[in-house]
């Protein structure tokens, strides 16, 4: 082989190596990124997948208290939580519980939704935690799993108050710093991971249309503020809950300090009499009604939403509860039977199951609960709540979503 030909082969080999190296340089932390065959399909996805414009955001932290007993199961901790403070801490901080709830949340997100793609930004305390979140969907059917686009971002905290992570629970403050943590995003929908969807999650993005030119966030009521002792200052009619936050991040950056979380800290309201970020946010917004819009409990229904002092929720009956929020570990504790039954059914169903089968099993469990004649729980006397919880499944069984989701995506 002559020298020129040999050098030609060497040059071609080097080019191949360079191209292969370029292909593996710093790919973003995204799993199951759907193939985008052409611009037409991408445009349709962009219209039907609102999270591509304003992402869904969740926060995950894996905390292991030094006193945690690894031999106490999550079920045992749930049974003892109301009488044993250590068991309550075990339940609250348990990664096992977080893992199960996040898996159920993602399942219900996909099951009720028609969106072809879900872009979800995961704010974590480490890449190891993100990897664990990413693996939650590994047993989902492939076509369902491919609808998820999970992206990792670091949580953001101000350098001069880095100890804020010790306030209440690890990572609880991360959701208040969305504007700081996501500088390239104009808006986002944040949800806690201890909730389930009972209808199409994409409806939440409609709430942006309810916000005026000044409002930075939309929140649902938290009636506990009106009844708990000692009383804490609150905003809205009965207080506001931060488990679901529809956030205009561009407007939040106009607040003092460049974000909502920073504005809360700059307000000087953080002190030991407040349990967590939600308390501080309520106090901050108490005399600033122009900064938020209060939406109904349909978008964030908790056990406290059943309280007699809770604002009425006519759209819960009309359109069904969209999000059921297991705040205060109410999906595990013996606080409200309706929450235990609903979460129990949704944590066990398969993404391949037809809605009619899930609905039948749900109704059987609800009938069993009714036969027990429990009267001492907050939601026991709300007879209209049961159809509000099942309406999403009823609609799913009668719509053409069944053909799209459980035939084409099975």
pLDDT in tens, 304-349: 999 999 999 999 999 999 999 999 899 998 899 999 999 999 999 9
- What pLDDT was estimated at residue 410? 46
Name the E strands within 160-277.
187-191, 195-197, 217-221, 240-248
Residue 221's nearest CA partner among 201, 244, 202 is 244
The beta strands (E) that lie in 239-363 are given as 240-248, 292-294, 323-325
Mean predicted confidence (pLDDT) in 283-287: 96
CA distance 156 to 177: 6
Euclidean distance between CA atoms 209 and 224, whole angstroms: 28
Q: What is the pLDDT of residues 111-130, one digit of tens each?
A: 999 999 999 999 998 999 99
- For residue 13, pLDDT over 90 is answered with no
C-alpha span between 359 and 331 (Å, rounded): 19
Tokens (6 digits) for 180: 């700081």
HSE, side-chain direction, 13 A CA sphere, residue 365? 20
* Pairing of the two strands 292-294 and 217-221: parallel
| 160 pLDDT above the threshold of 90 | no
In the prediction, which pLDDT does 95 show?
73
Please give the mean pLDDT across all residues of the chain.
Answer: 84
* pLDDT at residue 94, as a whole number: 75
Give the pLDDT mean for 17-36.
Answer: 40
pTM confidence score: 0.84
Q: How far is CA 311 from CA 55, 72, 221, 237, 238, in A?
A: 29, 39, 7, 7, 8
pLDDT of 65 > 60? The answer is no
């Amino acid at each position: 082989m002559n020298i020129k030909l040999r050098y030609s082969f060497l040059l071609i080999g080097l080019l191949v190596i360079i191209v292969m190296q370029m292909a593996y340089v710093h790919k973003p932390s995204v799993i199951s990124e759907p193939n985008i065959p052409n611009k037409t399909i991408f445009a349709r996805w962009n219209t039907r997948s609102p999270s591509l414009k304003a992402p869904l955001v969740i926060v995950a932290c894996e905390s292991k208290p030094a006193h945690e007993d690894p031999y106490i199961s999550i079920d045992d901790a749930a049974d003892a939580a109301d009488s044993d403070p250590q068991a309550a801490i075990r339940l609250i901080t348990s990664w096992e519980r977080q893992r199960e709830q996040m898996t159920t949340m993602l399942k219900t997100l996909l099951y009720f939704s028609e969106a072809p793609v879900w872009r979800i930004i995961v704010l974590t305390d480490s890449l190891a935690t993100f990897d664990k979140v990413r693996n939650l969907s590994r047993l989902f059917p492939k076509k369902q799993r491919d609808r998820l686009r999970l992206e990792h971002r670091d949580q953001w905290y101000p350098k001069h108050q880095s100890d804020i992570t010790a306030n209440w629970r690890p990572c609880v403050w991360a959701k208040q710093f969305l504007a700081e943590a996501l500088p390239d995003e104009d808006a986002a929908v944040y949800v806690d991971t201890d909730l389930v969807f009972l209808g199409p999650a994409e409806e939440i993005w409609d709430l942006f249309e309810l916000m005026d030119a000044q409002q930075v966030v939309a929140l649902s009521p938290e009636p506990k503020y009106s009844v708990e002792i000692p009383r804490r200052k609150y905003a809205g009619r009965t207080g506001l809950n931060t488990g679901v936050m529809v956030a205009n991040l561009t407007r939040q950056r106009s607040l003092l300090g460049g974000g909502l979380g920073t504005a809360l800290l700059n307000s000087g309201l953080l002190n030991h009499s407040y349990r967590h970020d939600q308390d501080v946010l309520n106090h901050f917004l108490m005399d600033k009604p122009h900064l938020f819009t209060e939406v109904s409990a349909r978008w964030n229904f908790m056990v406290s939403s059943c309280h007699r002092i809770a604002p009425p929720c006519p759209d819960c009956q009309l359109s069904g509860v969209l999000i059921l929020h297991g705040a205060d570990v109410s999906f595990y504790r013996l606080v409200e039977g309706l929450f235990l039954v609903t979460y129990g059914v949704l944590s066990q169903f398969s993404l391949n199951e037809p809605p009619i089968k899930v609905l039948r099993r749900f109704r059987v469990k609800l009938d069993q609960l009714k036969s027990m004649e429990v009267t001492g729980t907050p939601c026991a006397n709300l007879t209209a709540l049961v159809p509000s919880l099942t309406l999403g499944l009823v609609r799913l069984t009668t719509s053409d979503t069944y053909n799209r989701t459980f035939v084409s995506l099975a």
